[in-house]
Structure 1
Amino acid sequence: MSTTPEQNTIEPVETLSDLERQGDIAADFLEGLLDIADIDGDLALDVRNERPYVSVESGDGSLRTLADPDTVQALQELTRLAVQVKVGRPSRVILDVSGSRDARQQELADLVDRAIVRLDEGASQASLPAMSSYERKLVHDLVSERGYVSESYGEGADRHTVIRRA
């Protein structure tokens, strides 16, 4: 079997220090955006699952509009681009605004559970709507925990997950 040069390329392993630096860059970028928008927020940095994780919290509810899933996704992409410019390679930074990630994970768990009910009722497979790669990874983990199998299909913004019995 022949391989192409792309198949032989090894991604550089990012150290904890690299990931923490990306988190710092992301936090600086987000602080600037919050200042421009005159929105108060406290930032917390972490590394989870080999990804920089930045959480923005506020006790006064001023982040409610920013916690919308589509807005969080857009802010995350902007933040990733800002980090990429500084470090010279793509970043997989994860952004959470006011617990939006936990809320979305619960929505995904509910979606998976409803799909499994369809399978238990006799469907041969259950397709989920298109979602980001991060959300698809969460779905794959949830499906596996429940004893089913899943695969992703489609390209770009149309990429979605299909669940089947194991």
Structure 2
Amino acid sequence: MTEAEQESVKTAPDVAALEQEGDIAADYIEGLLDIADIDGDIDMDVEGDRAVVSVVGVKGIDLVGPNGEVLEALQELTRLAVHRQTGERCRLMLDVAGYRERRRSELSKLGSQISDDVKRSGEPHALQPMTPFERKIVHDAVAAAGLRSESEGEEPRRYVVVLPA
């Protein structure tokens, strides 16, 4: 096996392990929904190097909360439940009612708009504090616009600064 093939094997995600994480997470979330008497269906997928579990068909935004705070907390609890069963740290992504997909679209647009502003003004621009998920989306949008960005501050007040070229 060539060195490149060995490297590819090392970095390729273990789909079976990710599917197991998704199954454990889905069972955990389903149990929470039952306890809270909330109707919803669970979808599982693997995207890149992480399991994605989505709660669909739920009414209201109680499981998302203001600025996704409840969703972030549920995601952390779910990751802990997976870790407890597998002994491995996981990067599972939890979504409720398409919130993360909508947020991804909004933040990509924001990153592009701020990049345009920074290109015009030549001045750095700091954004509001964001979660790691949100910062990653903004960093990607800024990079796609040909600029660079950095995260500054301490959690939970960590934020992105878009820098001129």
TM-score bracket for this pair, using the shorter chain length: 0.7 to 0.9
In structure 1, the partner of 2:7 is: none
Q: Which amino acid aligns with 1:143?
A: V
Aligned length: 154
User: Which is worse superposed, 155-164 or 97-106?
Assistant: 155-164
1:13-42: CA deviation from partner (whole Å, max 9, x where unpaired): 751111111111100000000000111111
Q: Distance in 2 between matches of 1:127 and 1:49?
A: 29
Alpha-carbon distance in 2 for matches of 1:156, 1:20: 30
Partner residue of 1:7? none
Distance 2:51 2:89 in 1: 12
- Residues 77-123 of structure 1: per-residue CA shift (max 9 Å, x gap): 11111111111122111011011011111221243234224314415
Compute the TM-score of the two structures, normalised by the length of structure 1.
Answer: 0.83
TM-score normalized by the length of structure 2: 0.83
Could you tell me whether the CA contact under 8 Å between 1:41 and 1:63 is conserved in 2?
no
Which segment drifts farther, 14-23 or 47-56? Answer: 14-23
Do 1:57 and 1:63's aligned partners in 2 also have CA atoms closer than 8 Å? no
Give runs of ≥4 in structure 1 deviating > 6 Å.
none
Match for residue 62 of structure 2 among 46, 61, 65: 65
User: Percent sequence identity over matched residues?
Assistant: 43
Structure 2 gaps, min length 5: 1-9
Q: Check the 8 A contact 2:112/2:141 in 1, yes or no.
A: no
1:15 maps to 14
